[in-house]
Amino acid sequence: MTQAVKTYKGYEIHPLIYPRRPAEGQPSRRPDAGYEASVRICRVGANPAADGRVFRLPYLWPFEASGKARLACMAHAEQLIDGRVDGQSVADL
């Protein structure tokens, strides 16, 4: 699977989608547990691992599908870049 990377206003957006962790006391992950998401943002051409920053998406419930999580990552990253998320900024990247 190739990772979807989008550019927006001079930044690269890297969605990070992962299976939801099992609840305390559960022996393994349930297939229907859903997905959680974060997004890594860096300047275009920068090394994402070294020069980027990871922002966790502030959702109370897991995403039911990885595609929905990916779309939410892209929308959240655009809001961060546009300065519409209180307490978080990418201005210093």
Q: Please name the helix (run of DSSP H) or strand (run of DSSP E) that holds residue 66, with its range, or none.
A: helix 66-81
Class of residue 62 by CB neighbours under 10 A (exposed 0-12, middle 13-18, buried 19+): middle
- For residue 19, what pLDDT is reported? 87
* CB atoms inside a 10 Å sphere around CB 53: 15
- For residue 36, what pLDDT is reported? 92
Residues counted in the chain: 93
**Domain locations along the chain:** 6-20+34-81
Mean pLDDT score across all residues of the chain: 87
Extract the tokens encoding 88.
């978080």
Query: What's the predicted TM-score (pTM) here?
Result: 0.83
pLDDT in tens, 31-68: 668 899 999 999 999 998 889 999 999 888 889 999 99
